[in-house]
């Protein structure tokens, strides 16, 4: 089998499970344009490996006995491209917040693995990372908001732009993401989304709902200091009192740029 990538890439493999490292190494071995520079099984070893060998790409496990892959990225001086590997998808939002190229959930197929490699070449060639759209040397790992999210579908993993999300609905330990007549179920709590999404756009209007203010078509007073929210899709939700205050504050900010928004706000406030 010929190599998938058009240029030789230095690769590091980090996983605490020997079998997982072996699987990745085996999938890379037929590719003549992939150069495995080394392996590590824990956080400290990963930091040393990455800073000493300076790989172009790292296959990085999220959870290890002495810490996480996120901690590795926060500690290294060298900024490689990263493909996270994990048995769970509960850390996806944090992974892409730090600029991961892709996110492989174990067990992953060879086809899915190759797709991640192809994405890695495309990203590394143009010197960017999928995520915050900033150069890895200048981006902040803390206090940033995510721009893209990878969600699992029947066909694998899809890249969902955060701006395309209409609203999110919390369902216990799960969150349903609604976007353009599609929905995706993810094992990430609503509070985690609230902490990472842009708070000027995504508003927590209720304990179970976060809405994209740009996708709200109408707010209507229902008395007792509360309002209902109508989304562009036609879905309606009741906001809490705190959520109502938040909504009206942001509508007041937006009304300067939209006459239609202004008339709706003014109508509902009278």
Which domains does the chain carry? 9-147 (3.40.50.2300), 165-269 (2.40.50.1020)
Distance CA 171, CA 190 (A): 8
- Higher pLDDT, residue 140 or 218: 218
Q: What does the CA dihedral 249, 196, 174, 184 come to, rounded to 10 degrees?
A: 90
Tell me what pLDDT residue 151 has: 63
Q: How far apart are the first and last CA of the chain?
A: 70
Q: Is the pLDDT reported for residue 102 higher than 60?
A: yes
Residue 229 backbone phi and psi in degrees, to 5: -120, 130
What is the model's pTM? 0.49
Element (H, E) at 129: none
**Cα–Cα–Cα angle for 44, 49, 53, nearest 5°?**
160
What average pLDDT does the structure give for the chain? 78
| Residue 26 in tokens | 């085996």
Enumerate the H helices of the chain as residue ranges.
18-28, 43-53, 69-75, 92-97, 110-125, 190-196, 241-254, 259-269
Q: Is the pLDDT reported for residue 129 higher than 60?
A: no
HSE, CB side, 13 Å, CA atoms: give it for residue 243: 23
Cite the beta strand spans of 198-264 per DSSP E: 202-206, 209-212, 216-223, 226-231, 236-238
93: three-class secondary structure by DSSP: helix
Express each pLDDT in 21-75 by its tens digit: 999 999 999 998 899 999 999 999 999 999 999 999 999 998 888 888 888 988 9
């Amino acid at each position: 089998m010929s190599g998938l990538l058009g240029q030789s890439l230095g690769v590091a493999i980090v996983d605490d499970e020997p079998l997982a490292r072996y699987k990745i190494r085996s999938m890379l071995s037929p590719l003549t344009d992939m150069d495995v520079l080394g392996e590590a099984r824990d956080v400290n070893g990963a930091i040393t490996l990455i800073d000493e060998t300076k790989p172009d790409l790292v296959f990085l496990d999220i959870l290890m006995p002495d810490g996480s892959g996120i901690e590795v990225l926060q500690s290294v001086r060298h900024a490689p491209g990263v493909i996270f590997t994990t048995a769970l998808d509960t850390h996806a939002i944090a992974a892409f917040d730090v600029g991961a190229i892709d996110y492989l959930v174990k067990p992953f197929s060879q086809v899915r693995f190759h797709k991640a490699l192809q994405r890695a070449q495309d990203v590394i060639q143009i010197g960017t990372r999928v995520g915050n759209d900033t150069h890895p040397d200048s981006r902040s790992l803390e206090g940033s908001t995510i721009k893209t999210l990878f969600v699992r579908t029947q066909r694998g993993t899809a890249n969902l732009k955060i701006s395309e999300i209409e609203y999110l609905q919390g369902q216990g330990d799960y969150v349903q993401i609604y976007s353009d007549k599609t929905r995706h179920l993810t094992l990430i709590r609503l509070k985690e989304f609230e902490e990472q999404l842009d708070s000027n756009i995504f508003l927590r209007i209720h304990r179970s709902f976060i809405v994209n203010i740009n996708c709200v078509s109408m707010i209507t007073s229902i008395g007792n200091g509360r309002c209902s929210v109508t989304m562009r899709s036609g879905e309606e939700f009741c906001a809490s009192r705190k959520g109502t205050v938040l909504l009206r504050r942001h509508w007041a900010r937006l009304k300067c740029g939209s006459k239609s928004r202004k008339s709706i706000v003014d109508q509902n406030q009278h």
